[in-house]
Structure 1
Amino acid sequence: MKNNAFFKNKRKRALFFANIILILFISFHLIQMESTDEELMTFVLFLIGDIALLIYQIVEIIRSNKKDTK
């Protein structure tokens, strides 16, 4: 992977890896959780939001790679 602008920005890099860790934490918590449907839906919504943010971050990495090659 190239050393592109996305990973040169410390804040963006930290948010990217924190998002991955948060997805893993929520997934693990969902597996271990035996609770009400309301709590389960809250965690599912958080998980969907984090996955959407991760997809957005990956798209931004790809876009910045294309700009770097031009």
Structure 2
Amino acid sequence: MTDIKKVTTPLDDEVIINLRAGDSVSITGYIYTGRDAAHKRLIELIENGQELPIKLKGQIIYYVGPAPAKPGYPCGS
């Protein structure tokens, strides 16, 4: 059985350095979601020297988008 690493956002550098691809992780705290328009807006704010609506350091941003449902399933995967 794989050990589950427990992390809390915002993540500090030591936690990030010790995570590996394939690790099972239990996350406590915020996970921000966004699609291309949200990422574009963040880049525009940064390029224009404006303050971001959230603090990004140590945060998790999960790219989300629609996924068509497979036949017989209620939602995409």
TM-score (norm 1): 0.30
Q: Which has the higher contact order (CA 8 A, sep 6+)?
A: 1
Structure with max Cα Rg: 2
Higher helix residue share: 1
